Structure 1
Amino acid sequence: MPGISHILLWAAWAIVAAAAAYLMLAAAGIAAHRARRGPGWASPPAVTVLKPLCGIEDGLEAALRSFLSQQANASLHYVFGVADPADPALALARRVAADYPGCRIDFIVDPRTHGANPKVGNLINMAVVGLGEVVVMSDDDIIAPPGSLQALIDGLAVPGVGAVTSLYRARPGAAAGAIGRLGALFIDGWFLPMAVLHARLAPLAVTYGPLTAIRRDVLERAGGLAALADNLSDDAELGRLVRAQGCTIAFAPMVVETLANDRSLSDLFSHELRWARTVRGLDPIGYLASVITHPGPIPLLLAVCSPGLASFGALLGLIGLRWMLVGLTARRFGRSFAPPGPLTLWARDQLCFAVWLAGCVVKRVEWRGRRLTVGSGALLESGARTRPVA
C-alpha cells in the first residue's frame, strides 16, 4: 500500500492539476462573457433605490454622487438610511443630496434592529417609506457608471426575470495604500472570474450585494426583506428566494466598482474571512473544493518535496495562468489600479489560501464592530459589540 507521503503527493498533484484546469476555464468564461441589455419597460416604472449607510470611508461622496447623477426613464426615489443619528455618513449624504434638488430623496434614521444582520435591519427600517414596482438595493460604497441604473432596471423587463444583479470590480481608496490595492486585487483577480465562470456553468443563483434590482412583487412573495434578516449572506439568500419562485436572475450589462478601503492586513484578513465563512456556511463541500481556485503554497511544496522539471513547471505554469487570467479580466472589465506582476499575484494567492484555511475552522466573524456566530446555511447569531461602529 502507498505510504502517507505518497498519498499526500498524489493529492498535491491533483490539486495543482485541478487549479490549472480551473484557471483555463475561468479565462474562457471571461472571454465568452456577454450580458445582454433588457428591452426596457412599456411605461416608466416607479423605482425605489435603497442605500443603507454606516460610517464614512474614502470615496463615499463620489459613490453617492454616482447614483444621484444617474439618468433613467423611471420615477426614481432614493432612500438613505442610518441607525445612528450621529453617523457622519448621514451629514455627508444630506450635503451631497442638496446638490441634486431634482431628485426625490428621503432620509431614515432608525436604530431598531430586525434579526442579526445589521444591513438588512437598516433596509427594513428604510422600507417604511413604501417601495416602488422595482426595488434597487445597493451598498453605500458602490460607484455606478452613467447609465448603469437604467440598464439594471431594463433587465427586469425580460419575461421571467425576477432580479438583475451587477458584477463588480474594485477601486482602492486613495488612503488605503498597498493594503487597499491588495484587497482590490482579490476582487478583480479572484472573485470576478469565479463569479463569471459559475454563471456560465449553471444558471445564476445568487444576487450580489453591491447592486441588485428586484421586482417588488417577487420580493413580497419571498417574504420581504424580513426573510433576509438573519442571514450573513443576504444576497445569496435573496437569490435563492427568487429562484424558488421559478424566476431567473440576470446579469446587468454594466460593471460597477466597490471601494477597497481596508488599511491594515488584519482588517483585510478579517474582511475576507467573513466572506469565506459565508461561503462555507452556504456550501461546505463546495468551500473545501474551492482550494483549487487559490492553492497557495501547495505548488511550491510540491516542487520542494518532489523536485523535478514537472513540479517546477507546474509551479511556474500556475503563476503564468493566473497572470493571464488577471490580465484578461482587466481587458474585459477594466482596471482602476496599476497591473500587478506575477510575484505579487503569487503572494496574493498565499493570502487567499490562508483565509481559506482559517475559514475551514472559525465559527465567529466580525462585522462593523459586531461579533457574530455563523451557523448552518450562514445563519447568524448576534454577539457582543467589540468596538464602536465606524
Structure 2
Amino acid sequence: MSRPSTPFIRGFAYSLLATFALDRVLKLAAITHFFHSDTPQPSRIWPTVTLLQPITRGASGLANNLRSRTQLDYPGHLEHLFICDVHDEVSQKACTSLMAELPDLDAQLLLVDAIQGPIAAKTEKLLAALPRARGEILWFVDDDIALRPDALRIMIPYLFQPQVGAVFGLACYTNWQTLWSSLMSIFVNANALLSYIPLTYLADPFTITGHCFALRREIFQRAGGLTAMEERIDDDHELARRVRHLGLRCVQTPMIYDVNNELSSRTAYTKQMKRWFIFPRQAMAPYLTLREQGVTLLGSITQLIPALLALLALFTWKRPAFQALITSLGLFGAIYALGEICYLQRRTPASRWPLLPIVALLAPLQVLWSLAASPEIEWRGQRWRILRGGKMEVLS
C-alpha cells in the first residue's frame, strides 16, 4: 500500500492546525468578552449567607480551605455549617480548632452517621444540615475548595437578576506537590475556561458545577431542595434540572475559586479522571437534548487535534505534520499562559511547564478511555457503581 503523499499530508495537517487555531481564537474571544462584560450591581443590603460545607476524610489542605472561608470580604452576615462523619475525628479536629481560634465566628459542627458504610454521602450530609441553615442564601462548597476573599461579592449579585435560579463559579487547580497533582492541575486550568465559558454563548448552562454554587433559599425550596436525592450521586445535575423546570436559569459567573487536590500516584490520577467523566456520562448525558449534546461535543472535540497531529507525525514522519504539531503545542501553551495571567491569577511553577505537552497530547485520550470505561468508581476509600440516570450503589 502506498504511503500518503507529502502534499496530502501537508493539507491535512494544516487543516487540523487551522481548525485548532480557529477554535482557540473564538474561545479566547468569548472568554475576553465574558470577563469584560458588565457585572450586576449589588443591592444596598447584603443578604445573610449560610455556607454549607460537607467534609469527608482525606480532603487535601482542609485547614487552609476552611480558614479561607473565614476571611471572606463580605458585608453581610455569614453562617458556617461544618458537616463531618461521626467517626472522622481528623476532620472534626480541623473544624473545632478553627472555631476555638475564632470564637466570634457564627459556626456549628454537625456530625452525620452514614446510612451505608462509614462515610456519609455528600447528599446525606447536606440533608442533615439544611434544617439548621438560617441564611437567605444557601452557598454549597466542597471540602477541597479555598474561596478567594471577593468570592461572595462577585457571585451573589447574579442571584438577584431576572430569571436566575442558581449561580456557580470556575475552578482553578492549585496543587503542584506531585507529578500527578500537577498533571491534573494543568488539565483543569487548560480546559476550564475554554470549556465552560464559550458554551454559555451557545446554550444556557444545563448543569451546576457542584464544587461551589449558590441559590436563594426560596428558589431552593420551590425546586424541592435535595428531597429524594439520598441515592443519587448527581445532586448538582439534578438540582440544576429542577431549577430549569421552574423556568429559571443556571448562570456561570466570573467568580474563581481554588481547588487543592493532591494525588499521590498514577492510580489516584487515573481514578479521578475516570470519576470525572463517568459522572456526566451516567448522570447528566441521559437528560440532555440533542442540541445540548451537540453543543457539548462541538466545544470539546477540538481538544483531540494535538493528539491527532502527533499520530500523523509519527506514522508519516513528514515535516509538515511535525510543523503543525509543534505549532499546535505552542498555541496550547500560549493560551494556557494567557488564561493564568489574565483570569485565573495563579501561576504554574516553572518546573511543571514541561508537563504541558503531555497534558495536551495524552489527557484527551484519557478522557475517551474514561468515557468508555465501566461505571464503577472509587472515591476516598469507597467504591460505587453509578447507574444510568444518576443513582448509585455502594459496593464497598
Per the normalisation by structure 2, the TM-score is 0.84
State the one-letter code of the partner of 1:375: L
Tell me if the contact between 1:193 and 1:329 (Cα under 8 Å) persists in the aligned partners.
Answer: no
CA gap 1:337/1:70 in 2 versus in 1, 3 angstroms = same
Query: Is the CA contact (8 Å cut-off) linking 2:57 and 2:88 kept in structure 1?
Result: no
Contact 1:39 1:157 in 2 (8 A): no
Aligned 1:105-120 pairs, distance under 5 A = 105-113=107-115, 118-120=121-123
Query: Which residue is 1:388 aligned to?
Result: none
Choose which of 122, 127, 137 in structure 2 pairs with 1:124. Answer: 127
Question: Which residue in 2 is equivalent to 1:167?
Answer: 170
Indicate how the Cα distance of structure 1 residues 317 and 231 shifts in structure 2: closer, same or farther if over 3 A, else same.
farther
Separation in 2 of the partners of 1:32 and 1:288? 22
State how many pairs are aligned: 378
Distance 1:270 1:161 in 2: 35
Q: Does the CA-based 8 Å contact 2:50-2:139 persist in structure 1?
A: yes
Asked if 2 retains the 8 angstrom alpha-carbon contact of 1:374 and 1:381, the reply is yes
- Asked if the contact 1:56/1:88 (under 8 Å) is kept, the reply is no
C-alpha separation between the residues in 2 aligned to 1:327 and 1:107? 40
Answering whether residue 381 of structure 2 is matched by residue 369 of structure 1, we say: yes
Q: How do 1:144-183 and structure 2 match up within 5 A?
A: 144-172=147-175, 176-183=177-184
How far is 1:45 from its partner?
2.3
Aligned to 1:137: 140
C-alpha distance in structure 2 between counterparts of 1:159 and 1:288, whole Å: 29
What is the rounded CA distance, in whole Å, between the counterparts of 1:187 and 1:355 in structure 2? 13
C-alpha deviation, 1:251, in angstroms: 3.3
CA spacing shift, 1:277–1:305, aligned 2, 3 Å: same
Deviation at 1:266, TM superposition (A): 1.2
Aligned to 1:64: 66
Once the two structures are overlaid, the 10-residue window that deviates more, 151-160 or 178-187, is: 151-160
State the Cα distance separating 1:258 from its structure 2 match.
0.7
How far 1:27 sits from its partner (Å)?
2.4
Give CA deviations for 1:107-136 in whole Å, capped at 9, x if unaligned: 11011449x981112111111314432100
Q: Which moved more, 1:225-234 or 1:72-81?
A: 225-234
Match of residue 330 from structure 1? 340
Aligned amino acid, residue 240 of structure 2: G
Q: Secondary structure at the match of 2:135?
A: coil
Matches of 1:52 and 1:87 in 2, distance apart? 14
Q: Where does 1:259-274 land on structure 2 (aligned, <5 Å)?
A: 259-274=260-275
For 2:224, the equivalent position in structure 1 comes to 223
CA contact (8 A) 2:57 2:380 kept: no
Deviation track 1:353-386 (CA, whole Å, cap 9, x = no partner) reads 3421322322211122222222324x1321322x
Residue aligning to 1:349: 360
2-structure distance, mates of 1:146, 1:84:
30
* Contact 2:139-2:214 at 8 Å conserved across structures: yes
Q: Which runs of 5+ in 2 are unaligned?
A: 287-292
2:393 matched to which residue of 1? 382
Q: Per the alignment, in what secondary structure is the counterpart of residue 205 of structure 2?
A: coil
SS in 2 for 1:166: strand
Q: Partner of 1:277 in structure 2?
A: 278
Q: How far apart, CA to CA, are the structure 2 residues paired with 1:214 and 1:245?
A: 13
Give the TM-score of the pair, scaled to structure 1. 0.86
Q: Deviations over 1:169-192 (max 9, x none)?
A: 11116xx32222221111111223
Q: Is the 8 A contact 1:16 1:298 kept in 2?
A: no
Q: Are residues 17 and 277 of structure 1, via their aligned partners in 2, closer, same or farther at CA, if it must alter by over 3 Å?
A: farther
Between the aligned partners of 2:302 and 2:12, the Cα distance in structure 1 is 11
1:200 Cα deviation (Å)?
Answer: 2.8
